[in-house]
Amino acid sequence: MRVISVVAGAALGLASVLAVAAEPPQAIREALLKLQPGLPIEAISESAMPGLYQVELSGGRQLYASGDGKFLIQGYLFQLKGDQAVNLTEQAESRAIAKRLATVPTAEMVIFPAKDKKTHITVFTDSDCGYCQKLHSEVPELNRRGVEVRYLAFPRQGAGSHGYRTLESVWCADDRRAAMDKAKTRQALPAASCDNPIDQQYALGQQIGVQGTPAIVLENGQMIPGYQPAPQLAQAALAAAGKAAAATR
């Protein structure tokens, strides 16, 4: 009996050690932070593919890792459903981006509301960008189709640039919408300075992968990099709103 008790106790202790060592999220986190200290890991969870773990980084970027943290994959994960390939990585990134944008107070945006609002788009914009100006000329048509347009600042040339100073004048104006209208038609604006969210919005854009303007984010977090004509953009925005609603059911 004594031998059996000792063996049983040793087995129990070994099982406890293995349980601690086999925690994939901890092993993956430790491996990634050793590789890159300060890596902004938001969450680690099992992916749809057995044995593969999904690592969400700040800003919505996704990585994949083995449970022991010894293998790392950067790229898209697709799930084959019949004759279709569903991009699970893109879906996860979109959800994370939508969640992040939802934390930005609307009071810090320049908003062009739709009378009969059906959905909204969030546009990272630079007043000096030609295609941003073209998109802005179509805002009334987007509004007419039920799409609210929310602007966030993204001065492509960074702090101190002409675009930055213009956006600062827009955000510090008494009437932001009127100031944005003038900026997008290259009219001179009175210089203005105040506490504003431009630096934070610029950093947010970089964090979620904005590389140029206009960068349009639909309600479900899907990003459209660049200008699209109002009819096409409205159609995509309304379709995305339907997907966002379905995802919450």
150: its two tokens = 């929310």
Q: How far is CA 136 from the centre of its chain?
A: 22
Q: Which of 61, 100, 145, 156 is catalytic?
A: 156
Is residue 172 part of the annotated active site? The answer reads no
- Residue holding tokens 């379709």? 239
Q: Which of 128, 129, 150, 165 is catalytic?
A: 129
Assess whether the previous peptide bond of 214 is cis (omega < 30° from 0).
Answer: yes
What does the DSSP 8-state code read for residue 40? -
Is residue 129 part of the annotated active site? The answer reads yes
User: Would you mind telling me the total number of residues written for the chain in this entry?
Assistant: 249
Is residue 194 part of the annotated active site? The answer reads no
Is residue 132 part of the annotated active site? The answer reads yes
Q: Which of 61, 100, 128, 132 is catalytic?
A: 132
Distance CA 219, CA 117 (A): 12
Distance CA 187, CA 137 (A): 14
Question: Which residues are the active-site residues?
Answer: 126, 129, 132, 156
